[in-house]
């Protein structure tokens, strides 16, 4: 009995460790997922992005690594993109996945970029977060597992959601969203 419990604890610990490093295979055993691209206006089956902590640290640098890989948070009103009003696409700073469009960004007064919906629900992943004695929903990049921020239910219509995202977890690509293929067709 003691041996079974030790094995189960070891397996549970291994799963948690692998989840934190982004090396767990996707549900169903596949190594790809469907990601929507604003540039092409199409879905593509893309590989999950998996890297060691050392590789992520080299690619991202200090602050981005802390936020994307260690679930950190930048101070409000300090990020590069919180007050950005240009037209374009907000992408994951870890892997380049399209996450949010400028037309869904709004002034929430929080000091972080806030959006009322993602480019596509499949491009992000929502995870229950009970850290710091709070019940929240964490938002991660579906492709690389990078921590983006949190989603709350106090946003504007049409969704009532507020995706409160760290600037350092994003890169911005200025684009006109008026012409195809840059806009998603419903």
Q: What is the pLDDT of residues 67-101, one digit of tens each?
A: 999 999 999 999 999 999 999 999 999 999 999 99
Looking at the domain assignment, is residue 180 inside a domain? no
Range of the domain at 75: 31-174
- Whole-number pLDDT of residue 14: 39
Q: What amino acid positions are annotated as catalytic residues?
A: 164
pLDDT at position 4 over 60: no
Overall domain count for the chain:
2
Long-range contacts of 79-83 (CB under 8 A, 24+ apart): 79/111, 79/112, 79/113, 79/166, 79/167, 79/168, 80/167, 80/168, 81/113, 81/167, 81/170, 81/172, 82/111, 82/112, 82/113, 82/167
Same domain, 76 and 99: yes
- Whole-number pLDDT of residue 179: 65
Looking at the domain assignment, is residue 157 inside a domain? yes
Looking at the domain assignment, is residue 149 inside a domain? yes
**Which single residue is written with the structure tokens 């295979």?**
25
Same domain, 77 and 140: yes
- Whole-number pLDDT of residue 70: 96
CATH number at residue 101: 2.170.150.20
- pTM for the full model? 0.80
Same domain, 57 and 140: yes
Same domain, 67 and 147: yes
Q: Report the C-alpha gap between 54 and 61 in whole angstroms.
A: 10
Q: Report the C-alpha gap between 152 and 161 in whole angstroms.
A: 6
Q: Average pLDDT for residues 123-128, to the nearest whole number?
A: 94
Same domain, 114 and 161: yes
Looking at the domain assignment, is residue 179 inside a domain? no
Looking at the domain assignment, is residue 183 inside a domain? no
Looking at the domain assignment, is residue 181 inside a domain? no
Alpha carbon distances (Å) from 66 to 5, 121, 162: 34, 25, 23
Q: What is the pLDDT of residues 22-53, one digit of tens each?
A: 333 444 456 899 999 999 999 999 999 999 99
For residue 169, give the DSSP letter.
G
Looking at the domain assignment, is residue 184 inside a domain? no
Same domain, 11 and 94: no
Same domain, 56 and 122: yes
């Amino acid at each position: 009995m003691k041996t079974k419990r030790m094995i189960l604890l070891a397996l549970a610990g291994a799963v948690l460790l692998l989840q934190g490093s982004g090396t767990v295979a996707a549900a169903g055993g596949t190594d790809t997922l469907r990601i929507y691209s604003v540039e092409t206006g199409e879905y593509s089956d893309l590989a999950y992005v998996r890297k060691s902590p050392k590789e992520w640290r080299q690619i991202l640098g200090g602050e981005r690594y802390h936020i994307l890989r260690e679930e950190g948070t930048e101070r409000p009103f300090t990020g590069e993109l919180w007050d950005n009003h240009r037209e374009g696409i907000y992408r994951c700073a870890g892997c380049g996945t399209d996450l949010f469009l400028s037309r869904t960004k709004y002034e929430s007064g929080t000091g972080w970029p806030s959006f009322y919906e993602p480019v596509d629900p499949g491009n992000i992943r929502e995870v229950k977060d009970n850290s710091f004695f709070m019940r929240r929903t964490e938002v991660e990049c579906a492709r690389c597992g990078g921590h983006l921020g949190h989603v709350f239910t106090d946003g504007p219509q049409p969704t009532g959601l507020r995706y409160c995202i760290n600037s350092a977890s994003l890169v911005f690509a200025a684009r006109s969203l008026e012409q195809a293929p840059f806009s998603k067709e419903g």
